[in-house]
């Protein structure tokens, strides 16, 4: 009986330690981000890196997405999306305000519903 109790106790602690390690590990995420050119790429990646906990940020114009590695104990994907929207780029969940969008360079305008 004591052996069974010990096995159950060690199994519980083993799962608990494993769960805590998973919170510390970095998470890979892809997020849709609208943009056009290399200036957009620099602006989007710089905004992502401004968020504490972002380990890697690479935006791909052809796919209109950013590949992130984030430390989930320090930030969320939503934190990164908010930072990107503040510099004028729409993401899947957060849209840049008209004021924020108006500040980006003319060649970076990606919204198709506007007349230039």
pLDDT tens across 32-87, in order?
Answer: 999 999 999 999 999 999 999 999 999 999 999 999 999 999 999 999 999 999 99
What tokens were used for 40? 């957009």
* Contact indicator for 40, 101 with CB cutoff of 8 Å: no
- Residue 9: pLDDT over 80: no
Name the CATH topology of 26-108.
Alpha-Beta Plaits (3.30.70)
Q: What does each C-alpha distance from 90 to 39, 83, 84 come to in angstroms?
A: 15, 10, 7
């Amino acid at each position: 009986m004591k052996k069974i109790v010990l096995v159950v106790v060690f199994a519980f602690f083993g799962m608990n330690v494993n769960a805590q390690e998973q919170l510390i590990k970095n998470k890979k995420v892809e997020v849709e981000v609208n943009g056009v050119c290399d200036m957009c790429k620099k602006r989007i990646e710089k905004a992502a890196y401004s968020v504490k906990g972002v380990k890697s940020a690479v935006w791909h114009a052809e796919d209109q997405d950013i590949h992130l590695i984030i430390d989930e104990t320090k930030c969320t994907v939503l934190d990164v999306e908010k930072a990107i929207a503040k510099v004028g780029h729409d993401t899947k969940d957060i849209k840049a305000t008209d004021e924020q969008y108006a500040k980006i360079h003319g060649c970076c305008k990606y919204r198709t519903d506007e007349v230039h």
